[in-house]
Amino acid sequence: MPCGEPVQVIISPLQMNNHITALFVVILAIHHATAQTPKSKFDSKVKNLGVTFFTVPEIAKFTDCVDDSFYDLASMDKIKDKSFSCAMDTVPISKYGTLMNTKSTMDKCLSPIGQTTMKLIDKVMPAMKTALTKVYDKVIGDIKAAKNAGSAKQTVMNKGYTTATSVMTKPLIEQVCKMIVQKINKVEWNCFLTHAKTLVDFAQYECSKIVKN
């Protein structure tokens, strides 16, 4: 072949099909690796709704811990207890000091009225339960229906997370927040707003602008 003459590369139809197939497989693999599952969509939404203390992977660890309670159709009270336990188990050692310091400073803020952080949580729990009953009923109802239909556990939980993602909205958080404000006094509300920002960004919600007299 004379020097400098272009070399023709001939690709057969079979080779072309193989290349196209390989490219298609690679694209599917990339999509599979990056596509969000119903659970990961829920975890990300929780973060976007204002959770500042936990990262998305930490939220995912929390939901991994608590979702069996939903699958077992546990009561709201049992899910609440499990959630507290899972939340503490989720806190990494590097953040434990921050959490304890937040609780300590909030306790000091509440002490002039003989209140504590844990007693304040107990005080607002009935209001939270009332505000979240419809959400609980919807999520549990869809999980129960999927179980009754004989779906595999993963399919059942996918349905539960899809429903939870659709009902967990900013208007819902606003509703819960406003119901809580009605149940607490000025000192409790001010202490909460001052110290809860370590855990949740309430500045994005209108209820954070409420002034108690």
Q: pLDDT, tens digit, for every residue of 25-35?
A: 554 444 444 45
Domain of residue 178 covers 38-209
Q: pLDDT, tens digit, for every residue of 180-193?
A: 999 999 999 999 99
Whether 211 has a pLDDT exceeding 60, the answer reads yes
Distance CA 74, CA 78 (A): 6
**Element spanning 89, H or E:** helix 76-90
Residues 6+ apart with CB under 8 A from 41: 161, 162, 165
| C-alpha dihedral, 74 to 117 to 102 to 108, nearest 10° | -170
Judge contact between 56 and 43, C-beta under 8 A: yes
Q: Answer whether residue 97 is part of any domain.
A: yes
Give bridge partners of residue 51 from the DSSP assignment.
200
Q: Answer whether residue 15 is part of any domain.
A: no
Q: Answer whether residue 125 is part of any domain.
A: yes
Q: Answer whether residue 67 is part of any domain.
A: yes
User: Per mean pLDDT, which range of 70-74, 137-141, 204-208 is the poorest?
Assistant: 204-208
What's the number of domains the chain is made of?
Answer: 1
- pTM passes above 0.85: no
Q: Answer whether residue 24 is part of any domain.
A: no
Distance CA 63, CA 66 (A): 5
Q: pLDDT, tens digit, for every residue of 79-88?
A: 999 999 999 9
Give the chain's length.
213
Q: Give the per-residue pLDDT at 93.
A: 92
Judge contact between 88 and 58, C-beta under 8 A: no
Q: What would the mean pLDDT of 49-69 be, rounded to a whole number?
A: 94
Nearest to 95 by CA among 65, 61, 118: 61
Whether 140 has a pLDDT exceeding 50, the answer reads yes
Q: Answer whether residue 28 is part of any domain.
A: no
Q: Answer whether residue 149 is part of any domain.
A: yes
Q: Answer whether residue 32 is part of any domain.
A: no
